[in-house]
């Protein structure tokens, strides 16, 4: 069966990248409240319809712009080497590398404000950004419980929330270096594992 060619022009990767850059610029300079489809389109030098063809509203647009800041090919999944401590350290180094950039911290702070300002956008942003982090941590902790690396009766949800909460605290407090963030989160991992282990 012959493949039917798609109609219309292919979406330009350069245009897509310019839009995501524009979103991040507006977020850093003005915060989430300043992000609008009109403002982003003007800053990116594209028509507003270019945005609406890709994103139905600003919440998914902002979510993609922030996820893109993590780098292409970002995965929320944690490694599962059979060594929970090593895998959590890999996760925390990823977080620390992201938080070492003042620009990335500013983006994340804008999202924290967004979740407080607009409940509907906040829920959409949580579903697209925070929930995948939480679910990935919880899945890895459950695998560790199944492998008897941690107690079967441990509150794994609370442990996942503590790890995410610690990264959020770093975002809203002050910018830290990679080394300071790693040291802080390593201490948390140590404390958590002491409580989780059988």
Percentage of residues in the chain having pLDDT higher than 70:
86
Domains recognised in the chain with CATH numbers:
13-69 (1.10.10.60), 75-196 (1.10.357.10)
What DSSP string runs through 55-122?
A: -SSHHHHHHHHHHHHH-TT---PPP-SS-HHHHHHHHHHHHHHHHT-HHHHHHHHHHHHHHHH-HHHH
**Number of neighbouring beta carbons within 10 Å of residue 178:** 14
Contact yes or no for 105/27 (Cβ under 8 A): no
Structure tokens at 8: 């219309």
- What are the tens digits of pLDDT across the range 16-58? 999 999 999 998 888 888 899 999 999 999 999 999 999 988 8
pLDDT of residue 73 exceeding 70: no
Contact yes or no for 52/58 (Cβ under 8 A): no
């Amino acid at each position: 069966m012959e493949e039917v060619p798609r109609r219309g022009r292919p979406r330009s990767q350069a245009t897509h990248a310019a839009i995501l850059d524009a979103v991040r610029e507006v977020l850093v300079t003005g915060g989430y409240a300043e992000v609008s489809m009109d403002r982003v389109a003007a800053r990116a030098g594209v028509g507003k319809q270019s945005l609406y063809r890709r994103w139905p509203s600003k919440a998914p647009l902002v979510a993609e712009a922030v996820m893109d800041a993590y780098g292409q090919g970002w995965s929320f999944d944690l490694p599962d080497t059979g060594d929970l401590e090593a895998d959590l350290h890999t996760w925390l180094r990823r977080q620390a590398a992201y938080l070492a950039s003042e620009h990335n911290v500013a983006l994340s702070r804008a999202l924290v404000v967004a979740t407080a300002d607009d409940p509907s956008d906040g829920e959409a942003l949580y579903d697209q950004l925070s929930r995948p982090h939480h679910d990935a941590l919880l899945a890895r902790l459950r695998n560790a419980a199944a492998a008897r690396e941690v107690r079967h009766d441990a509150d794994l949800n609370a442990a996942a929330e503590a790890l995410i909460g610690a990264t959020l605290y770093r975002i809203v407090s002050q910018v830290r270096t990679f080394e300071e963030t790693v040291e802080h989160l390593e201490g948390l991992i140590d404390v958590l594992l002491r409580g989780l282990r059988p």
